Structure 1
Amino acid sequence: MGVGEVVPETAGVSVELLATVDLGGEIDGMEGRQLRMRMVTIAPGGVFGPLHDHAGRPGTVYILSGTITDHRDGVATEYGPGAGWPEDRNTSHWLENRGAVPAVEISVDIVAAPTL
Protein backbone atom coordinates (compact mmCIF):
# COMPACT_ATOMS: atom_id res chain seq x y z
CA MET A 1 0.00 0.00 0.00
CA GLY A 2 1.36 3.40 -0.91
CA VAL A 3 2.09 5.99 1.76
CA GLY A 4 -1.07 7.93 2.56
CA GLU A 5 -3.26 5.67 0.43
CA VAL A 6 -6.78 5.48 1.80
CA VAL A 7 -8.36 2.03 1.60
CA PRO A 8 -12.15 2.11 1.26
CA GLU A 9 -14.44 -0.12 3.29
CA THR A 10 -16.27 -3.05 1.72
CA ALA A 11 -19.23 -2.05 -0.45
CA GLY A 12 -21.09 -3.68 -3.32
CA VAL A 13 -19.93 -7.21 -2.53
CA SER A 14 -21.98 -10.38 -2.23
CA VAL A 15 -20.53 -13.70 -1.10
CA GLU A 16 -22.08 -17.14 -1.63
CA LEU A 17 -20.65 -20.11 0.25
CA LEU A 18 -20.44 -22.99 -2.25
CA ALA A 19 -18.80 -25.79 -0.25
CA THR A 20 -16.68 -26.66 2.79
CA VAL A 21 -14.65 -29.70 3.83
CA ASP A 22 -13.62 -30.40 7.44
CA LEU A 23 -9.86 -30.89 7.12
CA GLY A 24 -9.47 -32.40 10.60
CA GLY A 25 -11.06 -35.60 9.37
CA GLU A 26 -8.94 -35.61 6.21
CA ILE A 27 -5.40 -34.56 7.16
CA ASP A 28 -3.59 -35.17 10.46
CA GLY A 29 -2.82 -31.91 12.26
CA MET A 30 -5.58 -29.93 10.52
CA GLU A 31 -8.17 -30.19 13.29
CA GLY A 32 -10.26 -27.04 13.55
CA ARG A 33 -9.55 -26.03 9.93
CA GLN A 34 -11.73 -26.26 6.85
CA LEU A 35 -11.31 -25.91 3.12
CA ARG A 36 -13.82 -23.32 1.90
CA MET A 37 -15.01 -22.39 -1.58
CA ARG A 38 -16.97 -19.17 -2.18
CA MET A 39 -18.29 -17.22 -5.13
CA VAL A 40 -17.67 -13.51 -4.64
CA THR A 41 -19.42 -10.90 -6.79
CA ILE A 42 -18.17 -7.31 -6.77
CA ALA A 43 -20.55 -4.79 -8.33
CA PRO A 44 -19.22 -2.04 -10.61
CA GLY A 45 -17.52 0.47 -8.31
CA GLY A 46 -17.55 -2.10 -5.47
CA VAL A 47 -14.72 -2.72 -3.03
CA PHE A 48 -13.72 -5.88 -1.17
CA GLY A 49 -11.80 -4.38 1.72
CA PRO A 50 -10.62 -3.16 3.98
CA LEU A 51 -6.92 -3.92 3.68
CA HIS A 52 -6.58 -7.51 4.94
CA ASP A 53 -3.96 -10.23 5.08
CA HIS A 54 -3.97 -13.97 4.59
CA ALA A 55 -1.67 -15.04 7.44
CA GLY A 56 -3.03 -18.41 8.54
CA ARG A 57 -5.62 -18.29 5.73
CA PRO A 58 -3.92 -19.28 2.45
CA GLY A 59 -5.96 -19.52 -0.71
CA THR A 60 -6.33 -18.99 -4.42
CA VAL A 61 -8.67 -16.88 -6.54
CA TYR A 62 -9.95 -17.47 -10.08
CA ILE A 63 -11.84 -14.81 -12.06
CA LEU A 64 -14.96 -16.06 -13.86
CA SER A 65 -16.14 -12.75 -15.36
CA GLY A 66 -15.48 -9.03 -15.24
CA THR A 67 -12.24 -7.47 -14.07
CA ILE A 68 -10.91 -7.22 -10.51
CA THR A 69 -8.16 -4.83 -9.48
CA ASP A 70 -5.94 -6.27 -6.73
CA HIS A 71 -4.13 -3.63 -4.65
CA ARG A 72 -1.00 -4.82 -2.83
CA ASP A 73 2.36 -3.28 -1.98
CA GLY A 74 1.37 0.00 -3.64
CA VAL A 75 0.69 -1.73 -6.97
CA ALA A 76 -2.73 -2.12 -8.63
CA THR A 77 -2.97 -5.19 -10.89
CA GLU A 78 -6.01 -5.96 -13.03
CA TYR A 79 -7.16 -9.56 -13.54
CA GLY A 80 -9.82 -10.65 -16.02
CA PRO A 81 -11.62 -13.90 -16.78
CA GLY A 82 -9.43 -16.99 -16.71
CA ALA A 83 -6.77 -15.37 -14.53
CA GLY A 84 -6.20 -15.55 -10.81
CA TRP A 85 -3.66 -15.26 -8.03
CA PRO A 86 -2.41 -16.99 -4.89
CA GLU A 87 -2.99 -15.56 -1.41
CA ASP A 88 -0.31 -16.62 1.07
CA ARG A 89 1.01 -15.49 4.45
CA ASN A 90 2.74 -12.52 2.75
CA THR A 91 -0.41 -11.27 1.01
CA SER A 92 -1.86 -8.00 2.31
CA HIS A 93 -4.33 -6.44 -0.11
CA TRP A 94 -7.76 -5.14 -1.02
CA LEU A 95 -9.84 -5.53 -4.20
CA GLU A 96 -12.06 -3.35 -6.33
CA ASN A 97 -14.12 -3.50 -9.51
CA ARG A 98 -13.30 -0.49 -11.68
CA GLY A 99 -15.31 -1.90 -14.58
CA ALA A 100 -18.86 -1.37 -15.84
CA VAL A 101 -20.06 -4.98 -15.24
CA PRO A 102 -20.10 -7.16 -12.12
CA ALA A 103 -16.88 -9.08 -11.46
CA VAL A 104 -17.24 -12.67 -10.26
CA GLU A 105 -14.49 -14.75 -8.66
CA ILE A 106 -14.19 -18.17 -7.10
CA SER A 107 -12.18 -18.05 -3.89
CA VAL A 108 -10.83 -21.22 -2.27
CA ASP A 109 -9.06 -20.96 1.08
CA ILE A 110 -8.23 -22.73 4.31
CA VAL A 111 -9.85 -21.11 7.34
CA ALA A 112 -10.61 -21.80 10.98
CA ALA A 113 -13.73 -23.93 11.19
CA PRO A 114 -16.67 -22.06 12.73
CA THR A 115 -17.37 -22.93 16.34
CA LEU A 116 -20.91 -23.91 17.27
Structure 2
Amino acid sequence: MNQSTFRQITLAAALALAGAAHAGVCPADKVAANDLPGAPTAPVGVVDTELASIDLARENVKLEQRRLRLRHMTIAPGGIVPMHSHEDRPALIMVNSGEIYEYNSKCAVPILHKAGETAREFMGTKHWWKNTGSVQVDLTIGDIVNDKKPATMEKMM
Protein backbone atom coordinates (compact mmCIF):
# COMPACT_ATOMS: atom_id res chain seq x y z
CA MET A 1 0.00 0.00 0.00
CA ASN A 2 1.39 3.40 -0.92
CA GLN A 3 1.58 6.31 1.53
CA SER A 4 -1.27 8.26 -0.10
CA THR A 5 -3.65 5.29 0.19
CA PHE A 6 -2.57 4.74 3.80
CA ARG A 7 -3.31 8.41 4.61
CA GLN A 8 -6.75 8.18 2.98
CA ILE A 9 -7.62 5.04 4.95
CA THR A 10 -6.31 6.56 8.19
CA LEU A 11 -8.30 9.77 7.62
CA ALA A 12 -11.47 7.82 6.80
CA ALA A 13 -11.07 5.67 9.92
CA ALA A 14 -10.45 8.73 12.11
CA LEU A 15 -13.53 10.48 10.73
CA ALA A 16 -15.66 7.37 11.24
CA LEU A 17 -14.47 7.02 14.83
CA ALA A 18 -14.95 10.72 15.53
CA GLY A 19 -18.51 10.56 14.26
CA ALA A 20 -19.27 7.49 16.35
CA ALA A 21 -17.81 9.03 19.49
CA HIS A 22 -20.17 11.99 19.64
CA ALA A 23 -23.05 11.61 22.05
CA GLY A 24 -26.63 12.23 21.22
CA VAL A 25 -27.39 15.93 21.04
CA CYS A 26 -30.53 17.98 21.05
CA PRO A 27 -31.90 18.27 17.50
CA ALA A 28 -31.35 21.79 16.18
CA ASP A 29 -35.09 22.39 15.77
CA LYS A 30 -35.76 21.28 19.39
CA VAL A 31 -33.27 23.55 21.17
CA ALA A 32 -35.42 25.50 23.61
CA ALA A 33 -35.72 26.37 27.26
CA ASN A 34 -37.31 23.55 29.23
CA ASP A 35 -38.23 23.99 32.90
CA LEU A 36 -38.35 20.18 33.27
CA PRO A 37 -41.61 20.15 35.24
CA GLY A 38 -41.99 17.15 37.53
CA ALA A 39 -38.29 16.26 37.30
CA PRO A 40 -37.33 13.62 39.89
CA THR A 41 -35.34 14.77 42.91
CA ALA A 42 -34.21 11.39 44.26
CA PRO A 43 -32.10 8.65 42.67
CA VAL A 44 -33.65 5.30 41.78
CA GLY A 45 -31.55 2.21 41.02
CA VAL A 46 -28.26 4.13 40.88
CA VAL A 47 -24.91 2.97 42.21
CA ASP A 48 -22.27 5.72 42.09
CA THR A 49 -18.70 4.70 42.97
CA GLU A 50 -15.78 7.09 43.15
CA LEU A 51 -12.73 5.38 41.64
CA ALA A 52 -10.07 8.05 42.16
CA SER A 53 -9.57 11.77 42.56
CA ILE A 54 -6.91 14.48 42.52
CA ASP A 55 -6.98 17.54 44.81
CA LEU A 56 -6.63 20.37 42.29
CA ALA A 57 -5.56 22.89 44.96
CA ARG A 58 -2.28 20.96 45.17
CA GLU A 59 -1.71 20.89 41.42
CA ASN A 60 -0.31 23.68 39.22
CA VAL A 61 -3.83 24.81 38.34
CA LYS A 62 -4.35 25.80 42.04
CA LEU A 63 -8.14 25.30 42.01
CA GLU A 64 -9.11 25.58 45.67
CA GLN A 65 -11.92 23.30 46.91
CA ARG A 66 -11.94 21.36 43.63
CA ARG A 67 -11.11 17.77 42.79
CA LEU A 68 -10.76 16.04 39.46
CA ARG A 69 -12.82 12.92 40.06
CA LEU A 70 -13.31 9.65 38.19
CA ARG A 71 -16.46 7.63 38.91
CA HIS A 72 -18.29 4.54 37.75
CA MET A 73 -22.08 4.65 37.77
CA THR A 74 -24.64 1.97 37.06
CA ILE A 75 -28.31 2.71 36.45
CA ALA A 76 -30.71 -0.22 36.67
CA PRO A 77 -33.59 -0.62 34.21
CA GLY A 78 -36.13 2.04 35.20
CA GLY A 79 -33.39 3.82 37.18
CA ILE A 80 -33.14 7.58 37.51
CA VAL A 81 -30.27 10.01 38.02
CA PRO A 82 -32.23 12.91 39.56
CA MET A 83 -32.32 16.54 38.53
CA HIS A 84 -29.00 18.27 39.08
CA SER A 85 -26.99 21.23 37.80
CA HIS A 86 -23.59 21.61 36.21
CA GLU A 87 -23.33 25.31 36.94
CA ASP A 88 -19.82 24.77 38.35
CA ARG A 89 -19.13 21.08 37.77
CA PRO A 90 -18.10 20.25 34.20
CA ALA A 91 -18.20 16.56 33.37
CA LEU A 92 -17.55 14.07 30.60
CA ILE A 93 -19.60 10.87 30.62
CA MET A 94 -18.72 7.75 28.65
CA VAL A 95 -21.63 5.39 28.06
CA ASN A 96 -19.98 1.97 28.34
CA SER A 97 -23.10 -0.14 27.85
CA GLY A 98 -26.82 0.31 27.43
CA GLU A 99 -28.80 3.36 26.38
CA ILE A 100 -30.12 6.18 28.53
CA TYR A 101 -32.27 9.27 28.00
CA GLU A 102 -31.26 12.71 29.21
CA TYR A 103 -33.94 15.30 29.98
CA ASN A 104 -32.16 18.65 29.56
CA SER A 105 -33.19 22.23 30.44
CA LYS A 106 -32.02 23.35 26.99
CA CYS A 107 -33.93 20.81 24.88
CA ALA A 108 -37.65 20.28 24.29
CA VAL A 109 -37.25 16.51 23.76
CA PRO A 110 -35.31 13.74 25.54
CA ILE A 111 -31.80 13.09 24.22
CA LEU A 112 -30.74 9.46 23.70
CA HIS A 113 -27.18 8.49 24.68
CA LYS A 114 -25.92 5.13 23.40
CA ALA A 115 -23.03 2.82 24.28
CA GLY A 116 -19.73 4.10 22.90
CA GLU A 117 -20.75 7.75 23.08
CA THR A 118 -19.43 10.50 25.33
CA ALA A 119 -21.73 13.18 26.71
CA ARG A 120 -20.49 16.64 27.69
CA GLU A 121 -21.96 18.45 30.69
CA PHE A 122 -20.95 22.04 31.33
CA MET A 123 -21.96 25.49 32.55
CA GLY A 124 -25.68 26.06 32.46
CA THR A 125 -26.66 22.40 32.09
CA LYS A 126 -29.53 21.28 34.32
CA HIS A 127 -30.83 17.83 33.64
CA TRP A 128 -31.83 14.37 34.79
CA TRP A 129 -31.38 10.93 33.23
CA LYS A 130 -33.59 7.82 32.99
CA ASN A 131 -32.84 4.28 31.88
CA THR A 132 -36.00 3.28 30.01
CA GLY A 133 -34.42 0.09 28.67
CA SER A 134 -34.36 -3.47 29.94
CA VAL A 135 -30.60 -3.65 30.63
CA GLN A 136 -28.34 -1.90 33.13
CA VAL A 137 -26.52 1.21 31.91
CA ASP A 138 -22.82 1.53 32.82
CA LEU A 139 -21.14 4.93 32.78
CA THR A 140 -17.64 6.22 33.43
CA ILE A 141 -17.67 9.84 34.59
CA GLY A 142 -14.86 12.36 34.89
CA ASP A 143 -15.77 15.65 36.54
CA ILE A 144 -14.38 18.59 38.48
CA VAL A 145 -16.30 18.69 41.73
CA ASN A 146 -16.63 21.45 44.33
CA ASP A 147 -16.69 19.60 47.63
CA LYS A 148 -17.75 22.73 49.53
CA LYS A 149 -21.01 22.90 47.57
CA PRO A 150 -23.67 20.88 49.41
CA ALA A 151 -25.61 19.86 46.30
CA THR A 152 -22.93 17.76 44.61
CA MET A 153 -24.02 14.43 43.12
CA GLU A 154 -21.69 12.63 45.54
CA LYS A 155 -23.79 13.84 48.47
CA MET A 156 -27.10 13.11 46.69
CA MET A 157 -26.28 9.47 46.00
TM over 0.5: yes
- Tell me if the contact between 1:12 and 1:45 (Cα under 8 Å) persists in the aligned partners: yes
1:29 equivalent to 2:62? Answer yes
Question: How far is 1:4 from its partner?
Answer: 7.0
Residue number in structure 1 paired with 2:74: 41
Which segments of structure 1 move beyond 2 Å, counting only runs of 4 or more?
1-5
Q: Which runs of 5+ in 1 are unaligned?
A: none
RMSD between superposed Cα atoms in Å? 1.7
What SS does structure 2 have at the residue aligned with 1:110?
strand
Answering whether residue 128 of structure 2 is matched by residue 94 of structure 1, we say yes
Q: Residue type of the partner of 1:106?
A: T
Q: Does 1:78 align with 2:112?
A: yes
Which structure shows the higher helix fraction?
A: 2
Structure 2 gaps of 5+ residues are 1-32, 149-157
Kindly, what percent of the aligned residue pairs are identical? 34
Structure with the greater alpha carbon radius of gyration: 2
TM-score (norm 2): 0.66
TM-score, scaled relative to structure 1: 0.88
Is 1:60 equivalent to 2:110 in the alignment? Answer: no
Moved more, 105-114 or 40-49: 105-114
Q: Which has the higher contact order (CA 8 A, sep 6+)?
A: 1
The verdict on how the C-alpha distance between 1:3 and 1:37 changes in structure 2, with shifts beyond 3 A counting, is closer
Match of 2:155 in 1: none
In structure 2, what is the Cα distance between the partners aligned to 1:32 and 1:5?
32
Count of residue correspondences? 113
Q: Which structure carries more strand by proportion?
A: 1
